[in-house]
Amino acid sequence: MLGAASGLRSQIGMASVLAAAAPEELPGPLRGRGVRLGALAAAAGELVVDKLPGVPARTAPGGLAARVVLGGASCALLASLGGGPVVCSAAVGSGSAVVGAYGGLAVRRRMAARIPPLAAALAEDGLAVALALAALVVTTRPTGGVPLGSRQ
């Protein structure tokens, strides 16, 4: 789910994991408050920029590469927090990002033919956020909603 969310909006997966995890659970370079704020700002910025004319297609080489890397990295980070299979999670996240990018583009184009394009884009934003949140929910402890990891 997190990889597919990154396929729809490249920044949303990593921003979600960084926002949900306690700083002490994260690897050293990701613990800083600035990293978390930067990731959240990048995700929010992408939600705005996506609606602007002239934005390159998410399936263009640069956009797709960012989605593959960030989808894999966010899934690997989430797996590492819970002691899960990091390499496998990265591979699944990267593959899911490709599916999310192409599938999201196809669905958005179909929706935009039936409803205003801005409404289609906002619906896609909602789906990306919902997928990212769902990924966090299914990988949390039943008590307290804390990301899996070393924190007790």
% of residues, the chain, pLDDT over 90: 80
For residue 147, the cross-strand partners are: 140
- State the DSSP H helix or E strand holding residue 88, giving kind and residue range, or none if neither: helix 86-112
Distance, CA of 67 to CA of 69 (rounded, Å) = 6
Q: What is the pLDDT of residues 78-106, one digit of tens each?
A: 999 988 899 999 999 999 999 999 999 99
Region for residue 27 given its phi and psi (left: phi exceeds 0; alpha: psi -120 to 50; beta: otherwise)? beta
- Select from 87, 119, 99, 122 the least CA-distant residue to 6: 99
Q: What is the pLDDT of residues 104-139, one digit of tens each?
A: 999 999 999 999 999 999 999 999 999 999 999 888
Report helix, strand or coil for 140.
Answer: strand
Distance, CA of 135 to CA of 133 (rounded, Å) = 5
